[in-house]
Amino acid sequence: MAATITGGAAKVATDAVAAATGTGNAAGVSAVSGASQVAHTGLALVMDGIEYFITVPMVYLSVAFLLVAIAAKLVRSFRAGPPPFQLALYPVPRHPLIASLRDTFGMPQILKIEPLFWFFLVMYHVGFLLLILGHLDILSGINLVPPESRHMLGAGAVGVMVTLPTFYFLGRRFRDANRVISTPGDYLLLLLLLFLFLFGDLMSWGNSWTASGFVMTKADFARYFDGLASFSFADPRTVLHGAHYHFVVIHVLLANLLFITLPFTKVVHAFFSLPLNLVRRQPWKES
Amino acid sequence: MEGILSPAESAALKELFEKKLNGVMRMYLDTCARCGICVESCHVYASMPEVKYTAVGRAEVVRKIFRRYFRMQGRFAPWLGEVLEFDEATLNAVYDAAFSCTGCRRCMVHCPFGIDTQQVMAIAKALLIGADREPKVLSMLADMSIAKGEGIEETRADYAQALKNLEGEVKAIWPVPEGTSAIPYEAKEADVLYVALAGSHSIVSAAAIMNAAGEKWTLSSFEAVNFATFVGDSGKAKRVAQRIIDEATRLGVKEVAVVECGTAFRYLRHMIGPQKFRVVAFVELIDRYIREDRIRLDKSRLPESVTYHDPCQIARNSGIMEEPRRILRAISDRFVELRPNREENWCCGGGGGLVAMGELDFRMKSSRVKADQLKASGAQIVTTACENCHSQLSDLNEHYGLGMRVEFLSHLVAKALVLPGERFRR
């Protein structure tokens, strides 16, 4: 229903522009996009400034903060010294490192105890890795997906791979003992992720719900990312067209918030899971 | 506000907390995703389903203090992680967490990150000691062990005499040649120092088995049990263990064999650092004697069905799992496994100092799942290799009317010893 309304409205706009200017539909799309670049005044100007801050300087600040804070946390934890004695569990696997990798990436304990949770965890983590890859692929130098493609990696499926499990994780938090052990921070983190993913989905799926298909293509996003990578400080508004732009801004804002809060959340398990599993699987040499 | 500790008291507790923050501990405290996978792991929760009796429920008490005093969240958004200040209510919660946990580490088997709740509880116990709220009986027992070490020279002659009085019981199981001591003490040429407990039950059978195997052994002056580990006092635990280390070094033994006592064994095996001697569990020694054909055992003397309870500190926390099974198969045709077993075995519910503290009502209620497991085995005898487990299993047997017999593994082996020339069934 939403798709029909959105697509219908855009079609009306592009048709009107095409009719008024006597040009084809493509030119109409261009004209609508161009309309978003008219000079703003007053509150619109303030909003432009805020949107620019979110999409350019804040990205640098939040990514830099993420890297520094994570590095500080890792250094502090790894330099705090070893435990006073070995903490391994038995029996010791034949190859402790392989067993630790299996624990970390295969989560066999969860598969055994709660298979449905395991299924969504695997879907989520694989999806998250693809998501990172998909975003890197937007940079013009990589191109796992051809640069002329309208779609990004997964054509929207990757977003679903993380969104669906996040709904499941959130629902699971309200169940039985999980509700008691959950803190407000657990719910907020999941909500932050959920809305981040939903706005991402909106860009990958909703972006194609316009009458004439994609307004923002992979090439458009590549121009924005290349601008960030080259520190050009260009306003992304000049390369990302249409009404969906505001969704891009919200998506980037939520991503920035995630980057800033991530070092303080349990998401650090991404870094600590393997070392801790090694502690469990690898006994110290016997005296 | 009532119950709030003074700034000086809070600062002192914070300092104690900080001393425990090694690298792994920091990761344990930061990493938990509160996924809830450990919820069903704890025998206490399985018997009394309250979230405070789960691994995550207990560890969260410590984490909430950690977030309050060591994380920015505690200053800027305490509500996010529901942080806890040092006050009466918090210290009560810390006590409940620390002393409802037996330190069995079954939850660590199931945690996707391998978080060790026993280690997290070590912080809780350190805080309780700092706040002078630890179970006094455990501290007192630890102090007595240390005092015994300091005054050993004054009591040595009395102890030697007591051992002489006990020799008859050993000889009744396995005779020794005239002029030979059935319980060697202070033997300079010994290969093995056997560390028993305060009680003849931990000496007689073991002595008979070692004599039967022709072992060159000597008995320690000290009891193996280390109550300081239960109370969480790492300084005292070292002093208790040091008595045995010094004795083994002075006597120049190759091995220290630890009586059937899980915590004592794990502490000496894994927590004292490299030494000139090797630490073995007594069940390892028995298994070695059987494999080397140094003792012969008669299966016909144990007609009842028998099962084995893996003591947590000996099995999943030290790796002694197949040895007791080999021993049982050498003395019985009717050995049945508990389900689950080995690293997945349910804790008996008596560890972490609970048996020494009494706590009968809690121990019985919190170990219903263990009683159910024992009953389901259908075995007539449950045997184990840990004093604490033996006491707890005996209490469970009586409380739940299981109608089983609880035996030390070494006692069953001693009863099955075959004298030279005796007919026996392998």
Task: Give the pLDDT score at A17.
Answer: 42
Cβ contacts (< 8 Å) between A85 and chain B: which residues?
270-271, 273
Task: Please give the CATH topology (third level) of the domain spanning A50-281.
Answer: Fumarate Reductase Cytochrome B subunit (1.20.950)
Tell me if B398 is assigned to some domain: yes
Assigned token pair, A129: 């890795």
Q: Of B133, B168, B185, at which residue does a domain stop?
A: B133
Question: Residue B222: phi, psi to the nearest 5?
Answer: -115, 155
Nearest to B40 among A84, A113, A188 (CB): A113
Boundary-marking domain end, from B72, B104, B133 = B133
B119 contacts A277? CB cut-off 8 A:
no
- Same structural domain, B199 and B333: no
Share the mean pLDDT of chain A.
85
Domain-located, residue B425: no
Which of B277-307 are b and which e, b meaning 16 or more Cβ less than 10 Å from the residue's Cβ? bebbbbbbbbbebbeeebbbbbbeebeebbb
pLDDT for residue A27 is more than 70: no
Q: Which residues of chain A are in CATH 1.20.950.20 domains?
A: 50-281
| pLDDT per residue rounded down to tens, chain B (426 residues) | 457 788 999 999 999 999 999 999 999 999 999 999 999 999 999 999 999 999 999 999 999 999 999 998 898 999 999 999 999 999 999 999 999 999 999 999 999 999 999 999 999 999 999 999 999 999 999 999 999 888 888 889 999 999 999 999 999 999 999 989 999 999 988 999 999 998 899 999 999 999 999 999 999 999 999 999 999 999 999 999 999 999 999 999 999 999 999 999 999 999 999 999 999 999 999 999 999 999 999 999 999 999 999 999 999 999 999 999 999 999 999 999 999 999 999 999 999 999 999 999 999 999 999 999 999 999 999 999 999 999 999 999 999 999 999 999 999 999 999 999 888 777
Does B151 lie in the same domain as B273?
Answer: yes
Domain boundary among B133, B166, B201: B133
Contacts with A280 from chain B: Cβ below 8 Å = 108, 114, 116
CB contact under 8 A, A269 and B113: yes
**A2 or B218: which leads in pLDDT:** B218
Q: What is the pTM of this model?
A: 0.90
Whether B26 sits inside 8 A of A81 (CB atoms) is no
CA distances from A77 to A64, A66, A258 (A): 20, 16, 22
Residues of chain A neighbouring B316 (CB-CB closer than 8 A): 89-90
Same domain, residue pair B92 and B165? no
* DSSP-assigned letters across all residues of B265-321: HHHHHHSS---SSEEEEHHHHHHHHHHTTSS-B-GGG--S-EEEE--TTTTTTT---
- B310 lies in some domain: yes
Q: How far is B174 from chain A (nearest CA, A)?
A: 33
Residue B2 lies in a domain: no
Same domain, B241 and B109: no
B251 and B362 belong to one structural domain: no
Q: Phi-psi region for residue A155, left (φ > 0), alpha (ψ -120 to 50) or beta?
A: left
Most A CBs within 10 Å: which of B22, B25, B29, B34, as the mutation test of the A interface? B34
Residues B319 and B276 in one domain: no
A114 and chain B in contact, CB less than 8 A: yes
**B129 and B142, same domain (yes or no):** no
Residues B303 and B408 in one domain: yes
* B128 and B231 fall within a common domain: no
Please tell me whether residues B167 and B306 are part of one structural domain: no
Q: Is the pLDDT of residue A110 over 60?
A: yes
- Chain B nearest-CA distance from A195, in A, is 19
CATH code where residue B234 lies = 3.40.50
Both B287 and B308 in a single domain? Answer: no
Q: A227-242: per-residue pLDDT in tens?
A: 999 999 999 998 887 7
Q: Same structural domain for residues B142 and B126?
A: no
Residues spanned by the domain of B30: 7-133
The answer to whether residues B378 and B357 touch, using CB atoms and an 8 Å cutoff, is no
Please tell me the total count of domains within chain B. Answer: 3
Q: Measured between CB atoms, does A110 come within 8 Å of chain B?
A: yes
Nearest to B101 by CA among B56, B63, B65: B56
**A147-151, Cβ contacts within 8 angstroms, sequence gap of 24 or more:** A147/A218, A147/A219, A147/A222, A148/A218, A148/A219, A149/A217, A149/A218, A150/A208, A150/A213, A150/A214, A150/A217, A150/A218, A151/A204, A151/A218
Provide, as residue numbers in chain B, all residues whose Cβ is less than 8 Å from the Cβ of A286. 278
d(CA B310, CA B294): 25
- Please list every residue in chain B whose beta carbon sits closer than 8 Å to the beta carbon of residue A279: 24, 114, 116
Interface test with A, best of B17, B18, B20, B35 (most A CBs within 10 A): B35
Structure tokens at B185: 């003490």
Give pLDDT, residue A209: 67
In a domain, B424, yes or no: no
Residue A32: pLDDT over 60: no
Read off the tokens for A12. Answer: 């009306």
Candidates B27, B51, B249, B343, partner chain A, best to mutate (most A CBs within 10 A): B27
What is the token pair recorded at A215?
């307004």
DSSP A84: S
